[in-house]
Structure 1
């Protein structure tokens, strides 16, 4: 891998994007200086400090933990330009005005370090034109870097070189963006709006055109173009509101200003849609102004109606017949939509056809290969499949014929024919643009392989396009066993991997038994064990549905036996004679959280959501979660000079009693579910690599499990203090009587039960209290109502 190190970054511009890019740099622990103009009144850093303060209020949260806002160093161009010399990467993110950007480059150029990379975060301005304002000495280290909003959550980063950008500079920046920032990188050609926005905004304009053609309303369209279509759940127009209609209009204007009908045969469709123009005229810019295509009125959601100029009731859904069509295999699905008689079906075929058509016509102009288009649309627009992937899956030549027939019949948005390569030559012979050998490059007229930098070796099972025939994690390596919904396998013959693959990766008695067997096998024949799953669910916890039949047949004794078996597995993992590493990605809830905290070490993806959530179904953590909270409190108190355990217990108790979930790995560390020795990995695709490395390193260091020891508990006086606070909450109407009952049971367990303060207890003792509390709730009518409510609706019931 490149030895280029980014020790510090400067972000120029404290607007929406600049401030959030700075926030994400702080999330991944890269020191950052955020610049803006000097304020005309008050402190000169006032513009930046206001932007930093605002980061704490934004939703979705740009910061992993709000307090980290203080880690962003504020600066202004008048006083602090010398700080640029300390930075290895300078990201310019000011407003999309070519003249403003060029003026800023002239101002900062003398201060940029001789080795530093200078990159412009622009959504569509010409990088080559921007480079002309940069001194000749900096041009080899200048390029475009386009983050998508919000930068913390959106995977895509587009890198755009100029003719003078050094190849090594792009490789170094791509390496940093992938491994340090956790991004998926696509290299784009320097064309208006690059790849994702060029395809995506053209698609949005086409959608608006087809909405008009078929007379549909925005709410129905969003229902059709969200999850049903394999796209972002917010659909088309809610997504536009989130992005900002002013931002959308700006990107549209970039297309209008930089293209014409000769360069883009779809250009006549790029006129600002009347509804967008009207909303902009009204100052309704979307979520930021609380009104756009939609607005909230109390609890009601309203949609804008162009004819009346008013907001009217929203919430209309698509005809369910099209919902059923969209569940069909790709080829059958597109055929049904194309032949549909209703406007909703014909609309869906039209927008899909328009997308295929536009992507094919412009592939040679905007991207190195079809793979870059598909990944850009997945990572930048939340699509499950890019346009070329869907087209290929549905039957390449058949779909191409349908598109060409629509073009000939005047139904398409442009008369431009599909390129010749669609019908003849290697693509037609291969049945699509993606093959094992590579993806089709229309500019080079060949299949080109993926770019492979050393950093990519850290991604053992990266996201790949359909048709690439990449190895799947579920089939990779050597399978040792695959029983009880747990595949036990190895990649290197040294470290064992256990992958849960039950529904939602829930932990049933069979899963627990299989994990115990994996530990035993690892102790006999391997150097370590990694618990890892290939999707965004480490585990959602205990399988309640698997528990119910045993309860019906054998009563509460069966439940108690299952809980003890699960607790025994947790202790088996904690005291294993090989290191057990939990590789956490996505959801680790309830029993999944317990599985993680009982492992020797946790390696967590940044976007991991960890917590004990059993209260939501009227239960208490029963597989050792409360025991963990009590033990950690005692261990933390042991490092203090004070003798009172309660302050160290409060946060853990509150997290369990309120079912708090860490909404990032950083917040999960704050809640105590991750500890200082645990590792946070920005890129989810590097998670397994890092976890395996950790297991090997721990084994090399002579791993020994912790010694079993007793620890102090707060006792009955601690429980009384907590219960007194709960009484106030109940009597004040903040929690229900059943919530009070559950929280009191949690307090009883974490304080050690009816014992004196400072009493030494064992994990087994506390786990027995957990089981008793858990089982007492299983038979409680209010808890049974909550369990059945969750199983039937998927939502917590408050009773």
Structure 2
């Protein structure tokens, strides 16, 4: 494992990217100096202070917690350059102007420490040219480190090195970025726009070209180029609006100026309609107008034929939709090419030209095919990279189709496919032994840096086998769960994984959890609850709805009691239980998380008790857990019986079905503990949880005592909550049934209709939450909410 320690960092430039890079460093607990020019008036740090204020308002939030802002210190170049000497990592993130960057390098270089790494967040300028502006002694510690926007959420970082950079600097920085910031690092060659932007921007230009050629609407293209073909919902033109039309134009200009010998160079131009929008100040999402414009609740889209905005109604033709629904990728591509429908011709043309472009440039922009495909997955959110997609559809057949289109001058460029791509025995570029590297005709295995040993199941490319999967010993399973272990890592720690869709919690999962805990107590040293995201989205509403329809309320109450029993089994197990969560942990999933001995959370964990959304309250021990927590917090004060103040945040979260937007916020909300572990790379989650469980087992697991004599807020607390709810109901802010649900939450949190300050036990609190849950479940309004959620995936306000 790399020994690189970043005790302090600096970011040069407080623009959109610089400020958000600083925010993500702060998320990781790294003290950051954020620099910009000294303001001409007022506080010299005014530019940076404005940027920091802006971080609080941005969505999606660059800060994993408002407290992260405390790690960032504003600075300016006139007053604080000497502080750079105490920084281990300095990231330059100013505008993409070579002259501005080199001028800044001349200014800061004398102040950078002898061991510090200097990196440029350039998105496409030559890192080798930038290096020439630095003193020779600093060039060996300089590289490009291209974050994708937004830096907190986008996985890709392209690491680009000039010839002088020391290999150990690159290895150390890659390891640190991977584990500490959660990034997928790709080593790109020093070519214009590197890998992801080179291919991704070309793909967008190809889509723009074929949009106009085939007379399609922008909304029509977005309907075609989103999830239907494994791309993000923002598709093509919505992505352009999100990125910023001016930013997109700048990247296109960089490609045009830097890749003059590219056979597709004629297409590296900002389309006239796009330039016209930019000239009008319609830059996309940041100006609320671009390709799309929102008016009230209506979404309008620019219509090139009419020269004005119209209602966005983009639809995929039935003929094309049926082609895309085929499971066989070879059939999909073959039928798209054969169809005469403009939408089918559009998709084939864009895919064909992207395949052609990727194959032609692979040797010049990437070390191997795997790097190109993962760069497109991580940087643009594609489910498969272009070469993976080609391989999945049958390499030889697709190659022949591309060659025929080139011969008939149907493709955007007439240069032939490279020789390696048309070899008669080629079946693709990814095989278990590695991915093809055309520069020297060899197969390249994944990186062997020690940091990747922390990824038990790393992301793989289609057709490849990045690592040998560790041996898996499944020793018990039912329809809902699997109990297994990894003998090569730790045979003494059992792993419990849910098998249900979206990891919902139904009868079979509850029985599985109870069995798994009992078996782990007999045969293992510890238990880890882990599976791929989402962690769990709550109870199996389909089972609940069917039982309600059948009038099986007695059985449903037994199921709720079983749910509580499973939560308690996790909490009071004779071995440590570590819950490892990534993504959504909602409702019952959140309750299981709360009851574990400890938690290992991926930074992007979205946790909440959301039962109010379907007209219910937490009854798998969640309400009880917050009542116990409030009593423990009150016990640390001079008035241990006054628990009401500590119930208020929990009530707000439950009544409003709030979901924490990061692991740190989940811990702050009480869904975890300050001692819990937060990991930034989700592929390290299982490895970290196994290590945490082993450590807890080795030091001796202490089973928590059942809480007794728990003071509760009782009638007074319920009345206080009701005062707020009545005002909201009378003001039309909540419906009568919203009031009823929130009142039930208040009753459960306050320990029921008892005197304030009464002392109860855990069983009492569980009985209260179970009773309130069942009362709500019998109401027509809650039953309607459950059915509506099942039918539409959206909450019903009734």
Give 1:639 shift: 1.7
Give 1:321 shift: 2.7
Give 1:244 shift: 0.6
Q: 1:571 aligns with which of 555, 568, 571?
A: 568
Equivalences, count: 792
- Any idea what the Cα deviations from partners look like across 1:478-537, whole Å, max 9, x if unmatched? 111221321111003110001102011000111011111111111111111111112x21
> Does 1:300 find its partner at 2:298?
yes
Give 1:430 shift: 5.1
Supply the RMSD in Å over aligned alpha carbons: 1.2
Give 1:141 shift: 0.3
Provide the residue aligned with 1:353 in structure 2: 352
State the alpha-carbon separation in 1 of the partners of residues 467 and 104 from structure 2: 47
- Any idea what the Cα deviations from partners look like across 1:646-695, whole Å, max 9, x if unmatched? 11110011101110100111111221112101111111000001000000
Provide the residue aligned with 2:699 in structure 1: 701
Map 1:183-202; keep pairs closer than 5 Å. 183-202=183-202
CA contact (8 A) 2:374 2:385 kept: yes
- Say which SS state the counterpart of residue 216 (structure 1) adopts: coil
Q: 2:473 aligns with which of 460, 469, 478?
A: 478
> Does 1:455 find its partner at 2:464?
no
Provide the residue aligned with 2:108 in structure 1: 108
Provide the residue aligned with 2:598 in structure 1: 601
Give 1:733 shift: 1.1
Provide the residue aligned with 1:788 in structure 2: 787
Provide the residue aligned with 1:530 in structure 2: 528
Task: After superposing the two structures, state which structure 1 stretch, 392-401 or 549-558, moved more.
Answer: 549-558
Provide the residue aligned with 2:770 in structure 1: 771
- Any idea what the Cα deviations from partners look like across 1:714-757, whole Å, max 9, x if unmatched? 11111111111111111111111001001111111111112222
- Say which SS state the counterpart of residue 634 (structure 1) adopts: helix
Give 1:307 shift: 4.2
Q: 1:434 aligns with which of 401, 414, 430?
A: 430
Give 1:324 shift: 2.5
CA contact (8 A) 1:120 1:145 kept: yes
CA contact (8 A) 2:628 2:707 kept: no
> Does 1:562 find its partner at 2:563?
no
State the alpha-carbon separation in 2 of the partners of residues 327 and 162 from structure 1: 45
State the alpha-carbon separation in 2 of the partners of residues 469 and 773 from structure 1: 51
Unmatched segments (≥5 aa) in structure 2: none
Provide the residue aligned with 1:755 in structure 2: 754
Give 1:83 shift: 1.2
CA contact (8 A) 1:203 1:351 kept: yes
Provide the residue aligned with 1:466 in structure 2: 462
CA contact (8 A) 1:7 1:87 kept: yes
Give 1:476 shift: 5.1
Give the TM-score normalised by structure 2.
Answer: 0.98
State the alpha-carbon separation in 2 of the partners of residues 506 and 324 from structure 1: 30
- Say which SS state the counterpart of residue 172 (structure 1) adopts: helix
CA contact (8 A) 1:551 1:558 kept: no
Provide the residue aligned with 1:666 in structure 2: 664
CA contact (8 A) 2:87 2:116 kept: yes
Task: After superposing the two structures, state which structure 1 stretch, 491-500 or 641-650, moved more.
Answer: 641-650
Map 1:337-736; keep pairs closer than 5 Å. 337-424=336-423, 429=425, 431-470=427-466, 477-492=472-487, 493-534=491-532, 536-553=533-550, 555-643=552-640, 644-710=642-708, 711-736=710-735
- Any idea what the Cα deviations from partners look like across 1:25-54, whole Å, max 9, x if unmatched? 111211111000000000000000000000
- Say which SS state the counterpart of residue 786 (structure 2) adopts: helix
CA contact (8 A) 1:576 1:705 kept: yes
Cα distance change on mapping 1:618 and 1:347 into 2, 3 Å: same
CA contact (8 A) 1:230 1:385 kept: yes
Give 1:74 shift: 0.4
CA contact (8 A) 2:611 2:657 kept: yes
Provide the residue aligned with 2:209 in structure 1: 209
Give 1:470 shift: 4.9
Provide the residue aligned with 1:336 in structure 2: 335
Give 1:70 shift: 3.5
CA contact (8 A) 1:714 1:758 kept: yes
State the alpha-carbon separation in 1 of the partners of residues 726 and 270 from structure 2: 59
State the alpha-carbon separation in 2 of the partners of residues 641 and 484 from structure 1: 51
State the alpha-carbon separation in 1 of the partners of residues 133 and 420 from structure 2: 39
CA contact (8 A) 1:583 1:602 kept: yes
CA contact (8 A) 1:53 1:69 kept: no
State the alpha-carbon separation in 1 of the partners of residues 626 and 485 from structure 2: 33
Provide the residue aligned with 1:326 in structure 2: 324
Cα distance change on mapping 1:763 and 1:320 into 2, 3 Å: farther
Cα distance change on mapping 1:553 and 1:732 into 2, 3 Å: closer
Give 1:327 shift: 2.3
CA contact (8 A) 1:622 1:774 kept: yes
State the alpha-carbon separation in 2 of the partners of residues 308 and 545 from structure 1: 47
- Say which SS state the counterpart of residue 538 (structure 1) adopts: coil
State the alpha-carbon separation in 1 of the partners of residues 485 and 508 from structure 2: 21
Give the 4+ runs in structure 1 shifted more than 6 A.
none
